[in-house]
Amino acid sequence: MAFRAIAASPGLAGKLIVVSAIGLTSAAWLAHRHANIATDDPLADAATATSAAPAQDAASRVAASAAPASESEPAFRVETAVVEHSFSEAAQRLGVDAATTARLARAFSGRLDFRRDLQRGSEIRFVFRNDTNDANGVNEAKDSSNVSSANAGASQNTSSSGDTPVAIRISNGNVSHDLFLYRNLAGKAFYYSADGHAAAPSFLRYPVKFTRVSSHFSMRRLDPVTHRVQPHEGVDLAAPVGTPVHATARGTVRFAGWQTGYGKVVKLENFGPYSTTFAHLSRFAKHLKVGQTVSKGQVIGYVGATGWATGPHLHYEVHVDQVAQDPLTVDLPHRDPLQGEDKQRFAQQVALIDPLL
């Protein structure tokens, strides 16, 4: 273009020179503008951005574009409820569903009876896992810092009504009870005490839903029927006639029939040194017979007032090595505690969560 401009007439050449100068200036401005766009656009091709500016400027742009990372959400959250009416009501206020509440009641059954032992003002402290990024809503114990879900399909989203606490403390006066959720290497999730013992006992503490303890265990009690001082080797649990009576542990029916004083009675041989007696029944469970194996929680009879009884109640006994023990305070056997690698992983988990309780 410039060579042709030199060969042209003076007037035309002058115009072409001016036009060429303007064109070159525009081209330079557009090139500079393109470079700025390439460097400012976070989606620009990396090669284009590099060719448009020196390497040092490119590094500066990368550093500047990296915004300060916001503080990550804590791994756990802690929520507290004060018992106003019942444990289930307090738990549901914090979004714990009915199934999980029932599971917690079973886990604490060897330590507390929620209907009787919790009082208005008792404090319940829950630790939940803030695992909101799990697509399946499943919290697997993939390493020592992870806590498993109680239900494999239960979401741990904070907005979910199905939150499962990974730890719980119940403070009843000056006494506290702690449990921690752990999924063992076999994939089964249970609640454990801090020392690695399974929370849910192999024995239930109470065989019946009762209204009150009408007579306690005693080696010297004035019998209200015989009017003689003699041992009372069990507890009397007052309840309406017909209330279901449950086996407190797996066992074999050793006796089911009538005995003087006991009236209609069921006696079970449980595992190890344990045996149990259920007396003053109004009737037996259908098809119950001697030699039959019953499971923990199975209905074996119904409350009555047969035999030497002044009113409807269940007389309940627990024997260890054939020696009567107070059913309300006797140490109940638990599942085998955690061992080996499970125990180590669980201890690390407890150390992580315990300070939050």
Residue 47 lies in a domain: yes
Output DSSP code: residue 333.
Answer: P
Residue type, 77: R
Structure tokens at 43: 């989606």
Do 187 and 220 lie in a common domain?
Answer: no
Between CA 88 and CA 139 the distance in angstroms is: 24
Between CA 357 and CA 170 the distance in angstroms is: 10
Question: Model-level pTM?
Answer: 0.52
The three-class DSSP label of residue 33 is helix
- pLDDT (tens digit per residue) in 133-145: 443 333 433 333 3
Residue 330 lies in a domain: no
Contact 36, 92 (CB under 8 A): no
Between CA 251 and CA 273 the distance in angstroms is: 11
Contact 107, 179 (CB under 8 A): yes
Do 143 and 253 lie in a common domain?
Answer: no
Q: Can you give the pLDDT at residue 202?
A: 80
Residue 25 lies in a domain: yes
Residue 331 lies in a domain: no
Do 164 and 103 lie in a common domain?
Answer: yes
Residue 207 lies in a domain: no
Do 216 and 172 lie in a common domain?
Answer: no
Instruction: Over range 205-225, report the average pLDDT.
Output: 84
- pLDDT (tens digit per residue) in 24-58: 444 444 444 444 433 333 223 333 333 334 444 44
Do 120 and 91 lie in a common domain?
Answer: yes
Between CA 333 and CA 199 the distance in angstroms is: 10
Instruction: Over range 141-161, report the average pLDDT.
Output: 34
Q: Which of 112-121, 171-180, 263-272, 287-296 has the lowest average pLDDT?
A: 112-121
Between CA 106 and CA 114 the distance in angstroms is: 10
Do 85 and 182 lie in a common domain?
Answer: yes
Do 52 and 166 lie in a common domain?
Answer: no
Between CA 241 and CA 101 the distance in angstroms is: 28
- CATH number of the domain that residue 114 is part of: 3.10.450.350
Q: Residue 290 is part of which domain span? A: 212-325
Last residue of a domain, one of 65, 84, 118: 65
Residue 206 lies in a domain: no
Do 82 and 192 lie in a common domain?
Answer: yes
Contact 289, 271 (CB under 8 A): no
Residue 97 lies in a domain: yes
Do 317 and 340 lie in a common domain?
Answer: no
Do 29 and 118 lie in a common domain?
Answer: no
Angle between helices 10-40 and 55-65 in degrees, nearest 10: 40
Between CA 275 and CA 73 the distance in angstroms is: 51
Q: Can you give the pLDDT at residue 222?
A: 67
Instruction: Over range 154-177, report the average pLDDT.
Output: 67
Do 88 and 120 lie in a common domain?
Answer: yes
Query: How many domains is the chain built from?
Result: 3
Residue 165 lies in a domain: yes
- CATH number of the domain that residue 221 is part of: 2.70.70.10
Confidence of residue 18 (pLDDT cuts 50, 70, 90): very low
Last residue of a domain, one of 11, 35, 65: 65
Q: Is the pLDDT of residue 327 over 60?
A: yes
Do 58 and 94 lie in a common domain?
Answer: no
Residue 2: CB partners within 8 Å, gap ≥ 6? Answer: 20
Between CA 321 and CA 103 the distance in angstroms is: 31
How many other β-carbons are positioned within 10 Å of the β-carbon of residue 123? Answer: 14
Last residue of a domain, one of 65, 85, 106: 65
Instruction: Over range 274-293, report the average pLDDT.
Output: 96
